[in-house]
Amino acid sequence: MIRVENITKSYGKNTVLDHISFEIPAGETVAIVGPNGAGKTTLLEILMTLRKADSGTIHIMGERLDEQRSVDKIRSKIGVMLQEGGMYQFIKLKEALELFAAFYSVDKEKIERLIAFFELQPYLNTKFHKLSGGWKQRFLLAIAFLHDPALIFLDEPTTGLDPKATQLVWKKLRGGEQKRKTILVSTHSMEEVEKYCDRVIVLKNGRIIENGAPADIKKKLDVDFFSDAYFCLTEGGNE
Amino acid sequence: MKQSVKSIAKLVQYDLVIFFREPFFALPTLLLPGFFFVVYASAFGQAPADRISFGRYIPTYMLLISYLTVFFQIGTQYVTDRQNGIFKRLLLSPIRLLHVVISYSIRGVLVSVLGFFEMTVLAGAVLRIPLSENMLRVFFVFLLLASVMMLLSISIHGFIKNAKNVMLFSILCFQYVFFSTGMIMPVEKMPAAVRFFVYLNPIYHMNQVLISAWYQTRQSAEHVLALAAWVILCLLFVRLQKGFATDK
C-alpha cells in the first residue's frame, strides 16, 4: 500500500526527516509516534501529498509520488483527517457532507449509509462550530470516510478528547466495514497505540528508531506497557 | 471538466452561504455603507442641485462596498481559512488550487456586484439622484476594478499568517484607505507630504478611474498606470508566496 525509500526533508539547515524507509501493507493500522519535533507531521504531510520530500522515493497505492498526475490520482483515493480540522466553522453538517460529496462524486445512498454509521442524524442541521470536541472529530472522520478510501491518514485524531470520546472515535475507525482499510495515524497517546494499532513507527530527531508491533517492542524491551517502551526508546529509560 | 465545473459551483454556493452566515460579514460590509449613504444624501442633499452634486459619491460608495467585502472580509476569511487548515483539507480532495482561487474570485466579484446594484437602487430609485448616462460602461469598469481588488486582497493577505495579525492589519488598512481616498477630505487640499501616501493607495486610483467612467470623462493615464503597477506587484507577491498553505 505504501513504500517509502530513503526520504529526507530539511527546512533550511534543520533536517526534519533523515533517510526514512518503511513499508505498510494493505489493511494495517500503523501509528507514527515520537516527541514533538520528531518529524511526525512532516512525514504524514509528505505521504498525504501536501509536501515534497527533498530526496528518496515514495509509492502510494502503486503510484510513484513525484509527478502532478500521480498526486491528483492519490488525492482522490485517500481519506484525511487533519490536526487543524480543516472545516468551515459556520457550515452545517449536511451542507459539508453535500460539498465534499460533490468533490468526490459520492451518491446520496452512500451519504445516507455514512450518516447512519457515524450516527450523525441528530446534528445534520447543526453548524460545525457548535459541536463538542468529540462530535467534531467524529464528523471529520466521517468526511475522511465519505468516498470509501482504501487508505486513511489521521493526524492526532483524538487530541483533546476525553476517554469516552476517544473510544468512540476508534470504535468507528475499526468497526464495521472499516476493518479492511489501511490507516496511518500520528498520535501522542501510547495507550491508543497499544490498544488499537497493528504496528508502530517510532521517530526521533527525524530517524526511525523502532518499527514493529507494539507487543513485540514491549517484549523486546521487557516492559509491561507500551508507554514504558516509548520512554525507553526516546529517552533511554523508564518513567 | 464537467466534474470540475460541478465542484467549483458547489464551492461557490457554500462559500456564499457561509459568507452571509458569518456574523459581522454581510451586514456591516454590504448594508451599512448603503445606510450611511442614504443618511448623508438626505442630510446634505435637500435641494435638487445638492443631490446632483452628491451623485459624485455613488461610485465611491460602490467601491467602498467592494473594498469592505472583497479586501477586508474575504481577505480576513482567506487568512482564517488557511489557519484552520481549510485549504489543506480542500487540496487533499480532488479539488485543485485553481478551483479554490476561481471560487474565491467568483464570490468576491458577485458580492461586489451586489454592492453595485444596492447603490444604484438606493441612489436612483430611493433618493432620485441622477445616475451615470452610461451605466453599462460603469458596470464593466466596476467589474474590472472588483477583480483587481480581489487580486490585491489575496496577494496581500497571503503574507499574513494568523487571524490575530489580520485584525490589526485590517484596522490599519481601513484607516489608511478611508483617509486617503478622498472620502473625508479632498485630496487636493491635503499637504504635499500626505498626498504622497494618497498616490500610493490603489483604492484612490480605483476611485478616480470609476468616477471618470461615471462622468464619461477621459481616463487619466496616471491612475491607469498606477493600477497596472499594483497588478504587476500583486502578481509578484503571489509568485513569492508559492501557493496557499503548502510548499508544493
Q: Please give chain B's pLDDT, 248 residues, in tens.
A: 678 888 899 999 998 898 888 767 777 788 888 888 888 888 776 666 676 777 888 999 999 999 988 888 888 888 888 888 898 999 999 888 888 888 888 888 898 999 999 999 998 888 888 888 899 999 999 999 999 999 999 899 988 888 888 888 888 888 888 788 776 677 878 888 888 888 899 999 999 999 999 998 888 899 999 999 999 999 999 888 864 444 44
A76/B96 touch (CB, cutoff 8 Å), yes or no: no
Pairing of strands A199-204, A29-33: parallel
CB nearest to A104's CB, from B85, B88, B94? B94
- Per-residue pLDDT at A96 exceeds 80: yes
Residue A119 to residue B68: CA distance in whole angstroms:
41
Contact predicate A20/A43, CB 8 Å? yes
Q: What is the pLDDT of residues A119-174, one digit of tens each?
A: 899 999 999 999 988 889 889 989 998 998 989 999 888 877 778 778 877 887 77
Q: Which residue has the cell 442630510?
A: B43
Average pLDDT over residues A80-97: 92
Report which of residues A8 and A238 the model is more confident about. A8
Q: Which of B6, B18, B91 sits opposite A102 (nearest CB)?
A: B6
**How close B107 comes to chain A (CA, Å)?**
16
A187 — phi, psi (to 5°)? Answer: -150, 160
Per-residue pLDDT tens over the stretch A8-62: 999 888 899 999 999 999 989 999 999 988 888 899 999 999 888 999 999 999 8
What residues of B are in the A interface, CB distance below 8 Å?
3, 6-7, 10-11, 14, 17-18, 21-22, 81, 83-86, 88-96, 246-248
Cβ(A59)–Cβ(A65) under 8 Å? yes
Q: Which CATH architecture has domain A2-235?
A: 3-Layer(aba) Sandwich (3.40)
Please report residues of A whose CB lies closer than 8 A to that of B3: 105
Q: Per residue in A105-139, is it b (16+ CB within 10 Å) or e — as a string?
A: ebeeeebeebbeebebeebeeebbeebeebbbbbb
Query: Which of A60, A99, A154 has the highest number of chain B CBs within 10 A, making it the mutation to test binding with B?
Result: A99
Contact of A84 with chain B, judged by CB distance below 8 Å, is answered with yes
Is A50–B92 a contact, with Cβ atoms under 8 angstroms apart? yes
- Is A51 part of the contact surface with chain B (CB cutoff 8 Å)? yes
- The upper half-sphere exposure of residue A183, i.e. CA atoms within 13 Å in the direction of its Cβ, equals 28
Q: Which residue of chain A comes nearest to B80, CA vs CA?
A: A88
> What are the phi and psi torsion angles at A192 (to 5°)?
-65, -40
What is d(CA B25, CA B31) in angstroms, rounded to the nearest whole number? 10
Q: Which residue of B has its CA nearest to A99?
A: B10
In tens, the pLDDT along A53-86 reads: 999 999 999 888 877 778 888 998 899 999 888 9
- Do A51 and B247 count as a contact with CB atoms less than 8 A apart? yes
The C-alpha atoms of residue B198 and residue B200 are separated, in whole angstroms, by: 5
Predicted local confidence at residue B244, as pLDDT: 43
Closest CA to B139 of B43, B214, B57, B243: B214
Provide the H-helix boundaries in A153-213.
163-174, 190-196
- Phi, psi values for residue A147, rounded to 5°: -100, 20
* Span A193-231, pLDDT tens digits: 998 899 999 999 899 999 999 999 999 999 999 999 999
* Burial class for B158, CB neighbours closer than 10 Å (0-12, 13-18, 19+): buried
Q: What is the CA radius of gyration of chain A?
A: 18
pTM for the complete prediction?
Answer: 0.83
* Chain A positions in Cβ-Cβ contact with residue B10 (cut-off 8 Å): 98-99, 102-103
Contact B11 A48 (CB under 8 A): no
| Cα pseudo-dihedral A72, A78, A81, A85, rounded to 10 | 30
Residue of A nearest to B248 (CA): A51
Q: What is the pLDDT of residue B45?
A: 66
Q: What pLDDT is stored for residue B1 in this prediction?
A: 64
The answer to whether residue A101 scores a pLDDT higher than 80 is yes
DSSP bridge pairs for A191: none
- What is the pLDDT at residue A37? 84
For A93, name the nearest residue in chain B, comparing CA atoms only.
Answer: B14
Mean pLDDT of A91-112: 93
pLDDT at A239 over 60: no
**Cα distance between residue B176 and residue A223, in whole Å:** 65
- For cell 494499532, the residue is A197
Residue of B115, B190, B106, B193 lying closest to B150 (CA atoms): B106
Residues of A whose CB is below 8 A from B248: 49-52, 71
Bigger pLDDT: A92 or B220? A92
